[in-house]
Amino acid sequence: LDTMNPAVRRVEYAVRGPIVARALQLEKELKEGVTKPFSEVIKANIGDAHAMGQTPITFLRQVAALCLCPELMADASIPSDAKDRARRVLGSCGGQSIGAYSASPGLQAVREDVARYIERRDGIPAKAQDIFLSTGASDAIMSMLKLLKSGSGRSRTGVLIPIPQYPLYSAALAELDAQQLNYYLNEEQGWALDVAELRRAVTEGRRHCCPRVLCIINPGNPTGQVQSRECIEDVIKFAYEENLFLMADEVYQDNVYAEGSEFHSFKKVLMQMGPPYSQSVELASFHSISKGYMGECGLRGGYMEVVNMNPAVKDQLAKLVSVRLCPPVLGQAVLDVVMDPPQPGDPSYERF
């Protein structure tokens, strides 16, 4: 322990920590017949829909199966639109095999479909060259934090994260030796984000580091709040005033249920605000196939879109993601289906 990386020793990740280990031990004892005052263990540590019994979406799995086993194209029980989608994905793969590496930012056809999805969602143009596919959203978030971390002492990068948070952020900052700056959500107001609290966190942070990044989780995890458009505008104005890079974790955008709540992407609001915000506020937003109605956590698919990033820095980001070769291509294929699901009139639409 004395000779290993001390930053790794500082990493804590409660989602997979000692409480989970104890839960697994209890499960094992139950299976072995040890008497307990309960009959099962319900794990609430992580959003893992399929592990909790959610049935996989048929169309997603059909396309994945066809990509893995193309001889299933001859199976008459599989609908034609699933086969068409699998052919499109395979056609963009090297050697027409999902077992081949893709380009480091991801398959071009999938990046184009992601851009079209964002355009439909927001009514704002999106470009495939601004899309980087990833091993779930977590991998993209880690890459972006790695890109933005710099300096030491008073010049060390400070990153504002919400409390309560998803522990990926504190763990990543510990690993990267960046300065964690907490801003607290207001429980009495439904875990609302208050710009005055952001200002407090930045002011305090400047005493010992250089605040450069503001992380937003919307819809909130674990709090579940959905930010209003007005709140998002206030956050963007604050980021502009303080010259902060915005990171918008939007992986729960399909999980909005409360009456009167509506998801607004940071990209949409930023662009609709117009200059000077739309031209200068740097933003990276993240989405994933692990949440929403999909719940395909284990297939590891996601993307990030970067907006207003300096072109030279964007080249460095492309270099950084190339070190990992590419995201899982099967995850990319399922992401493609999520971005462009069956439409009315398609053979699979009613079942979907």
Whole-number pLDDT of residue 7:
77
Per-residue model confidence as pLDDT tens digits over 110-120? 999 999 999 99
The yes-or-no verdict on residue 213 having pLDDT over 80 is yes
Q: Rounded mean pLDDT of 189-210?
A: 92
Which is more confident, 220 or 14? 220
Q: What is the DSSP letter of 163?
A: E
Q: Rounded mean pLDDT of 149-171?
A: 87
Q: What is the DSSP letter of 178?
A: P
Residue 180 has phi, psi (to 5 degrees) of -80, 125
Q: What does the mean pLDDT of the chain come to?
A: 91
Tell me the domain boundaries of the chain.
6-46, 108-335
The yes-or-no verdict on residue 175 having pLDDT over 80 is yes
The yes-or-no verdict on residue 334 having pLDDT over 90 is yes
Do 305 and 285 meet the contact criterion of CB atoms below 8 Å apart?
yes
**Residues contacting 3, CB < 8 A, separation 6+:** none
Using only C-alpha atoms, the chain has a radius of gyration, in whole angstroms, of 21
d(CA 293, CA 57): 8
pLDDT tier for residue 15 given thresholds of 50, 70 and 90: low
The yes-or-no verdict on residue 177 having pLDDT over 90 is no
How many other CB atoms are there within 10 angstroms of residue 163's CB atom?
Answer: 14
Per-residue model confidence as pLDDT tens digits over 21-71? 898 999 999 999 999 999 988 877 777 889 888 899 999 999 999 999 999
pTM above 0.85, yes or no: yes
Whole-number pLDDT of residue 218:
94
Would you give the end-to-end CA distance of the chain in angstroms?
51
Whole-number pLDDT of residue 8:
77
Enter the tokens of residue 72.
Answer: 């299933």
Q: Rounded mean pLDDT of 144-167?
A: 88
How many other CB atoms are there within 10 angstroms of residue 344's CB atom?
Answer: 6
pLDDT tier for residue 87 given thresholds of 50, 70 and 90: very high
Per-residue model confidence as pLDDT tens digits over 120-150? 999 999 999 999 999 989 899 989 999 998 8
pLDDT tier for residue 9 given thresholds of 50, 70 and 90: confident
Per-residue model confidence as pLDDT tens digits over 217-255? 999 888 889 999 999 999 999 999 999 999 999 999 999
pLDDT tier for residue 314 given thresholds of 50, 70 and 90: very high
Whole-number pLDDT of residue 158:
92
Enter the tokens of residue 207.
Answer: 């005493």
d(CA 12, CA 1): 16
Which CATH number among 3.50.50.60, 3.40.640.10, 3.10.20.30, 3.40.190.290 corresponds to the domain 108-335? 3.40.640.10
d(CA 157, CA 241): 17
